[in-house]
Structure 1
């Protein structure tokens, strides 16, 4: 297959390494996971980037991150066995930080987040707030540094002020895809119903690209925004800032995220061929239920941009136990697809042609 004008990615999320009650099941399912990756790549072309949208661990402990490192290295051995070496792009989730005490600087700042002076001070590079956030993500940052010293190619050209804020550009021939990852987990400091209560700072995206975000995005044919949470988990003010300033019309080809433990593809039409597109990944593995006994779908997504035909294709996959016979199988997650689609969904997209 000629892949010169193809960008292929694998999107995984919510691994929750450290959930001991189901850890043994992962060893049963990952063989099917490996085989499905090989099958997909043989049919649709080699992977270019693996995107991991957070919750790598359950409690952000060093031993859990060490175990995740071993799983990533094992996955890359599978890639290498079929002649592949994709890049890895990561953002942290709310299970990847050690939560501070209630009277910590970050917790106190969140109580006054509507104060512009507090928000301005929060993102000062050498300020007490950033130092506290760095301490919360210490084990995650050490995990990243360990990966960087390994043979796993990280797609990370620039980092922001907060741990997990990063960006990188994938290039092949004349084509380029920009990826920006933003840490949406730093304000999830407690358990409980926090949907609609998390915060995100506009400065996160500007610090990450080291330049005006619109200029950065215009240099690429396509761009992805990667977070752990969907926008609906942000506070009303932060969600408004996210929709208007971080993810406005025309900037990103798609927003990729996890956290909700099921696969969903959404394309919102704003008229005049202007759309916003989001791809949500299932939980790669973990407990069978979460929250109020909601079923957790085990799975992941493949995606592809075909630059020759200006389309984006999304394949949701689901891991299922074989009823009665035992063992695991990987199938298309048809419940996540539009009607009359049995394997994938294809959208026409507008690529940035300025570089052509």
Structure 2
């Protein structure tokens, strides 16, 4: 199977390892996941990359991350048995931190940082700051988990660490394609329970800290660039969203924004002038969800193959369904597909890289 100029990836999010009342069901769902991974590889070839867009743990506790590492090692055994050894790229979510106490200065200022510019500038300056110290402490278990994962047998993508824990970048060479990955911590102001929709902050300084302060130069050295956060843009304040969409998720330099935190798979391609803005939302992989104050399970993930030979990307959206008799099974996410099809396609043209000729087959 010729994989020239192709990127085959799997996007997962929101495992919520350690959440109460999930352990008894997870083993069955996990086996369904393993079997589906094997089928995907058997039919479409090795997977090159796994993007994990946060909420690996439930309360950000050390033992939860130890369990996540074990789960990932088991999954990579399945990959290797099927002839794959993909790289993993991670960002943290709001369940991957230990929430500061009610007297925390950062927690109390987190929802009003855009009106307290002196404090915000101090946090984002990169200089010593008690506020940023609190953020680093909140994500300390996540940071240790990442260090442990990087030292494991799982191929781990991380070239540069930035302003906050979870601000990272990496550049990969995959089947002739140069792939750029940027992960930004969108949870550093999500330090409390309750509804945070429209209340979170994010800064272009986080992006600049992982691309050498020059996004165009960094981006144009790659055929494909993916921006990964845990939250969608709708969860940022109005000013933060304007900064995100205007200065961070620039469609001239990023091909897609990948994120989790939500209940459904939902890829979108929106044309804005001469540019396409592509967002790819992945469903929660596992855990009890609350929708309209009712608990329900809506879980899934997707596979994708970007083929630069034909300028298309194919998506296989997957979901866990409870069948007749209460049996959990993996199946196609029919809400995104036509009739009995198992995948759908989007036009996706990769950029040219100076002095690197992409030999299409």
TM-score by length of 1: 0.95
- Unaligned stretches of 5+ residues in structure 2: none
Residue correspondence of structure 1 range 161-176 to structure 2 within 5 A: 161-176=163-178
Q: Distance in 1 between matches of 2:208 and 2:292?
A: 34
Residue correspondence of structure 1 range 286-325 to structure 2 within 5 A: 286-287=287-288, 289-290=290-291, 292-293=293-294, 295-324=296-325
CA displacement at 1:62 relative to structure 2: 0.9
Residue correspondence of structure 1 range 124-203 to structure 2 within 5 A: 124-125=125-126, 126-203=128-205
CA displacement at 1:4 relative to structure 2: 2.0
Equivalence for 2:23: 23
SS for the counterpart of 2:118 is: helix
Q: Distance in 2 between matches of 1:218 and 1:291?
A: 44
Equivalence for 2:32: 32
SS for the counterpart of 1:275 is: strand
Equivalence for 1:101: 101
Counterpart of 2:234 (choices 232, 235, 238) is 232
After superposition, the Cα gap between the structure-2 partners of 1:179 and 1:189, relative to the gap in structure 1 and judged at 3 Å, is: same
Q: Distance in 2 between matches of 1:155 and 1:223?
A: 14
Equivalence for 2:351: 352
SS for the counterpart of 2:115 is: coil
- Unaligned stretches of 5+ residues in structure 1: none
After superposition, the Cα gap between the structure-2 partners of 1:344 and 1:173, relative to the gap in structure 1 and judged at 3 Å, is: closer
Provide the aligned C-alpha RMSD in A.
1.6
SS for the counterpart of 2:114 is: coil
CA displacement at 1:328 relative to structure 2: 2.5
Bigger shift: 69-78 or 286-295? 286-295
Q: Distance in 2 between matches of 1:234 and 1:227?
A: 12
Q: Distance in 1 between matches of 2:69 and 2:234?
A: 30
CA displacement at 1:291 relative to structure 2: 5.7
Q: Distance in 2 between matches of 1:132 and 1:288?
A: 28
CA displacement at 1:288 relative to structure 2: 5.4
CA displacement at 1:161 relative to structure 2: 1.4
Residue correspondence of structure 1 range 216-231 to structure 2 within 5 A: 216-231=218-233
SS for the counterpart of 2:217 is: helix
CA displacement at 1:49 relative to structure 2: 0.7
CA displacement at 1:5 relative to structure 2: 1.6
Equivalence for 1:284: 285
After superposition, the Cα gap between the structure-2 partners of 1:32 and 1:132, relative to the gap in structure 1 and judged at 3 Å, is: same
TM-score by length of 2: 0.93
Q: Distance in 1 between matches of 2:173 and 2:290?
A: 39
Please say if residues 283 and 296 of structure 1, whose CA atoms lie closer than 8 Å, have aligned partners that are also in contact: no
Bigger shift: 100-109 or 131-140? 100-109
Please say if residues 48 and 174 of structure 2, whose CA atoms lie closer than 8 Å, have aligned partners that are also in contact: no
